[in-house]
Amino acid sequence: MKLSRRGVLIGGLAGGGLAVGFLLRPRRFPLPLEPDRDEYAFGAWIKIAADGVVSVAVPQVEMGQGVTTLLPQIVAWELGADWRQVAVEPAPVSAHYANTVLAAKWAPFWAPQWLPGVPRLAEKPDGYLARRWAQDHRFNVTADGTAQAAYEAPLRAAAASARALLAQAAAARWGVAAEACDVSQGLVHHAGKVLSFGALAAEAAAFSPPDPPPLRPDFPAEKPGEFPPGAPLRYPRLDLPSKVDGSWVFAGDVRLPDMLRASIRHAPLVGGTGAMAEVSDVGEAAARSLRGFRRFVKGEGWIAALADDWWSAEAALVRAQPRYRVIGALDSDAIDNALDGAMRSGEAERIHLAGDGEAVDGLLPVQIRYEVAPATHAMIETASATARYADGRLELWIGTQAPEAARAAAAQAIGIGSSDVVLYPMALGGSFDRRLECLHAAQVAVLAKEAERPVQLTWPRGEEFRAAFPRTPAVAVMAARPDAEGGIAAWRARVAAPASAREFGRRMFAGDRPREASAAVAGMVDPQALEGAVPPYAIPAVAVDHAPAAIDLPTARMRGNAHGYTAFFNESFVDELAHRAGREPLSYRMAMLGQDTRLAECLQRVATLSEWGGGSDNSGQGIACHGIGEGRIALVASARRDENGVRVDRLSAVVDIGRIVNLDIARQQIEGGLVFGIGLALGCAPRYVGGRPDSDRLGEMALPVLADCPRIEVDFIDSDAEPADPGELGVAVVAPAIANALYSATGLRFRRLPLFAEEL
């Protein structure tokens, strides 16, 4: 069906315009949107129209991960709606949609300022403090795969309440008990009588909802065995038809009357004491004769051209050739030296210890160094936003993972309050956490105010790379003491990396500029920057040490985050230990997984799926496994080298993500993560010279194109465990599996990412 942009009901649970908080004091949240004519409110999440269409508010940005299907599917299942009559609406910024789960996980970033002295009290997802903070700050950030964990419960409660109200309305008409009515497929049934949702909506909205909501006894779930290849989908993606026919609206598709277009250039990246970068000169005279060009606007570290169309704006910048005054331009050699210095002589802090601490101290017999270069996001859609400023009020059309942060950035840039910024959330064409940063929101606000006309800003592809903050580089020295049989008696990881997660937290929650954030966290230990560093194996003594490195390069979050390099360290190292012991890599891992039977089952099944041959005799097969939260994955990669470099021929994965709500979306997420991981394993790592990346085009990033994509097969384990997000798992496990496969194929070990950084 064609998706509409109907208004979203954001009412209270009782169907009114206010919701009541329950933390330390009662609080009331205003109604963000009113229902349209002939639409009726059913909680903060659902509205039902007289024509029977059920609209579901989705407070997470759609960026390809399928959230605009997953969350409405939960409502449809609990409500008993007909999927053909379900629509989705992007929810505005509101306390109603606080992502408490993510707020609790990121409490170390915001709690020290909000709750000095006792920030750990805020780290409980179901606790009062995280909920109150998230509501007060309208925190509905999309990140870390928390959509289902954060919103499944409130969505089910809203849907169950609406179902009960519809049953009450039908029962009142028929003179029967509401409990005797059945609700399914968008209809209420009793003894052969049937009424549609649309026919009952007005009457149902007038009833008081039950407390507590009558939830269905089961959870929404799809079993892997129910959907063999080619089987029809129970819940086709809601966003797919409009993406195929081009009607899906992104930020760059917005059109306003009298709108100007803008392109932009950024100064080089700088770092260190006394660093600065500013636009020093621009050849404005060279652009004046360009038809459609209006003017240049300078900002802090950037200059933009305004024109009647984007190509004229971009051409004006090409002609004007902006020049910059730069002190402390970043350089990759200096970054490498800083990491090396932190590894060799930096003071480290132990962030994890299990077993005998003395067993992991001192000089262990096996020590191997691994390196990971900075990695860029390389998403398809560049930054784009549209703004209109008038009478002290800013309207902002933008695709962002952090809408309230975008409002704050725009407001601060032009000296107004956040309450004077109206944000219209738009979909994203990929992000991989790049759109947690909000620089373009501030820039377009400045441009709209200066122009006194609506402005649409679109970054050129090169500027996306030049202004982006990459995933942090890292160096690890992995050390082990084998036992008499070649097993692992002691394991120690020493990782040199900046406090990247804390640095991001300072930018997002304290409003620091990049250099301010780097300075504020210099020398700090950062457990989130080393997530996944604790191996899943039963090893008698394990230690993980963080050696903070001051590299000056601003770093950011990326799909997979720390797991993207800690899994590479762990699974490459355990593979090397297996070969040193003369043991087959699969059985070597299995012998240490007695405490993690879910991961062991993934390994056993992937051996069958991939026709695992032991990884020897130049088979070109490599194996790796990893866990993120409650999710588990095992992967076998088949890779080789040819005249073009590394060729990945096949990826076979077995995944346990617990209860699966939508199997097709889960499969898409795993497959997409695997392909994204190939890109990180083989490319996406520019070098910095003079504050600029040496590559600024997608074609120079060694990204896998369709012809490079291997045969991918993914099997899911039927599991009743708590649901886990599938989006990060594939990213984490690809690089070590490919590196191990290349060892099998060539006899050479690759210990640096990207793998092309070492000669074959």
Count of H-run helices and E-run strands, the chain: 21, 30
- In this prediction, residue 554 carries a pLDDT of 95
721-760 burial, b if ≥16 CB within 10 A, otherwise e?
eebbbbbbbbbbbbbbbbbbbbbbbbeebbbbbbbbbeee
Is-contact 705 746, C-beta < 8 A? no
pLDDT at 10 over 70: no
Q: What percent of the chain has pLDDT over 70?
A: 95
For 254-277, letters b (16+ CB in 10 Å) and e give beeeebbbbbbbbbbbbbbeebeb
Query: Which residues make Cβ contacts (< 8 Å) with residue 511, sequence separation at least 6?
Result: 408, 412
Helix (H, G, I), strand (E, B) or coil at 712: strand
Residue 5 has pLDDT above 50, yes or no: no
Give the Cα separation of 457 and 440 in Å (integer).
8
Please enumerate in sequence order all residues whose Cβ is within 8 A of that of 247, keeping only pairs 6 or more positions apart, or say none: 2
pLDDT mean over 70-89? 97
Average pLDDT over residues 9-36: 47
Q: Could you tell me which of 165, 193, 158 has the C-alpha nearest to residue 77?
A: 158
Q: How many other C-beta atoms lie within 10 A of the C-beta of residue 566? A: 27
Kindly tell me if the per-residue pLDDT of 230 is higher than 90. Answer: no
Task: Find all residues with CB under 8 Å of 299, minimum gap 6, and list them.
Answer: 442, 443, 446
Could you give the percent of the chain with pLDDT greater than 90?
87
Q: Which two tokens stand for residue 574?
A: 């355990």
Band of residue 9 on the pLDDT scale cut at 50, 70, 90 = very low
Per-residue model confidence as pLDDT tens digits over 456-491: 999 999 999 999 999 999 999 999 999 999 999 999
CB count within 10 Å of CB 499 equals 27
- CA 725, CA 630: separation in Å to the nearest integer? 8
Q: Which of 626, 331, 339, 332 is nearest to 474 (CA)?
A: 339
pLDDT at position 14, please?
A: 30
Distance CA 561, CA 508 (A): 16
Query: What are the pLDDT digits (tens) for 99-157?
Result: 999 999 999 999 988 877 666 788 888 888 999 999 999 999 999 999 999 999 999 99
Residue 555 to residue 530: CA distance in whole angstroms: 14
Please tell me the distance from the alpha carbon of residue 216 to that of residue 157, in angstroms, as a whole number: 10
**Average pLDDT of 372-382?**
95
| Residue type for position 757 | A
- Alpha helices, H only, 289-383: 310-320, 332-345, 357-360
Neighbours of 645 (CB within 10 A): 11
The alpha helices in 289-331, defined as continuous H runs, are: 310-320
Instruction: State the Cα angle at 358 between 352 and 363, rounded to 5°.
Output: 95
Closest by CA to 6, choosing from 45, 40, 36, is 36
Lowest mean pLDDT among 26-30, 419-423, 494-498, 611-615: 26-30
**Distance (Å, rounded) from C-alpha 388 to C-alpha 397?**
9
How does pLDDT run across 687-745, given as a tens digit for each residue?
999 999 999 999 999 999 998 899 999 999 999 999 999 999 999 999 999 999 999 99
Prediction pTM value: 0.94
* Residue 641, pLDDT above cutoff 70: yes
pLDDT band at 16 (very low <50, low <70, confident <90, very high): very low
What are the chain's domains? 19-98+138-245 (3.30.365.10), 251-328+383-458 (3.30.365.10), 333-375+470-757 (3.30.365.10)
Residue 548's beta-bridge partner residues? 497
Bridge pairing between strands 621-628 and 711-716: unpaired
145/616 Cα distance (integer angstroms): 36
Residue 70: count of CB within 10 angstroms of its CB: 24
Segment 280-292 shows an average pLDDT of 94
Find the distance separating the first CA and the last CA of the chain, reported in whole Å: 51
Query: What integer best gives the mean pLDDT of the chain?
Result: 93
Burial 508-546 (b: 16+ CB within 10 A, else e): bbeebebbebbbbbbeebbbbbbbbbbbbbebbbbbbbb
Among 52, 88, 144, CA closest to 727: 144
User: Between residues 272 and 611, which one has the greater pLDDT?
Assistant: 611
pLDDT at 19: 31
pLDDT band at 15 (very low <50, low <70, confident <90, very high): very low
Mean pLDDT, residues 356-365: 96
**Encoded tokens for 622:** 């490599």
